[in-house]
Amino acid sequence: MERIFIVEDEPRLREELGSVLEKNGYECILAEQFEQITEDIVKAAPDLVLLDLGLPVYDGFYICRKLRQVSEVPVIVVTSSDSDMDELMSLNLGADDFITKPYNIHILLAHIAAVLVRSHGRKGSLMMTHKGLTLDIGKSRAVHKEQSVDLTKNELGILRCLMEHKGTIVSRDELIQELWEMEEFVEDSTLTVNINRLRKKLADVGISDYLTTKRGQGYMV
């Protein structure tokens, strides 16, 4: 189920939109505080963001610009502004689409579906974000704030698997199976070496405690 982060400061519109989207098969995250909205979006790692322009604290242009510095999550600007300049600025700042309120909900749903298809099918640009770290799968690198580090195939596989199961423990056997398929031909120490190298690289970009060891159980992020 795709997760949509709704950034809308008008409570009634926010709740109504969330309800409609959930009835159409999406999981919704509703922003209620806006002081750290960019960080909240990155932490939630949604599949798509619906972003209003007229917001408290920071406007939608600022949020879109800051978001694009750390994430490639698809963004659809949904606003009451019908200004061509606002649409142009939104797209130039990295928004994937622009829809004017009031909108027909069926048209909005069609735009959401189209952007998700384009995003997931965009070769070489698949991103995963969790706890401030973005994994650029297409370029095999990890990005934190303005720093990035290249990953080996195994390091990429480990981090991708852990981020796909974020918040839950992944056993060593599961990781070995994921990376090398035939686990009986891989020494257990091989995984340890790759984990240690990955930890060092993450520390190099400013995250020293991202990957947690659960003794006797496995690893998690």
- Give the strand order in the sheet containing 127-130: 127-130, 133-136, 141-144, 147-150
List, for residues 11-55, the tens digit of each pLDDT value: 999 999 999 899 888 899 999 899 999 999 998 989 999 999 989
Reported as a pLDDT band with limits 50, 70 and 90, residue 178 is confident
Distance set, CA 219 to CA 39, 55, 106, 154 (Å) = 24, 39, 42, 15
Burial class from Cβ neighbours inside 10 Å (0-12, 13-18, 19+) for residue 32 reads exposed
| 0.75 surpassed by pTM | no
Is the pLDDT score of 126 beyond 80? no
pLDDT in tens, 57-80: 889 999 999 998 888 899 999 988
Q: Cα angle at 81 between 85 and 117, to 5 degrees?
A: 85
The verdict on whether omega for the bond into residue 56 sits within 30 degrees of 0, i.e. cis, is no
Q: Which residues contact 200 (CB under 8 A, 6 or more apart)?
A: none
d(CA 108, CA 101): 10
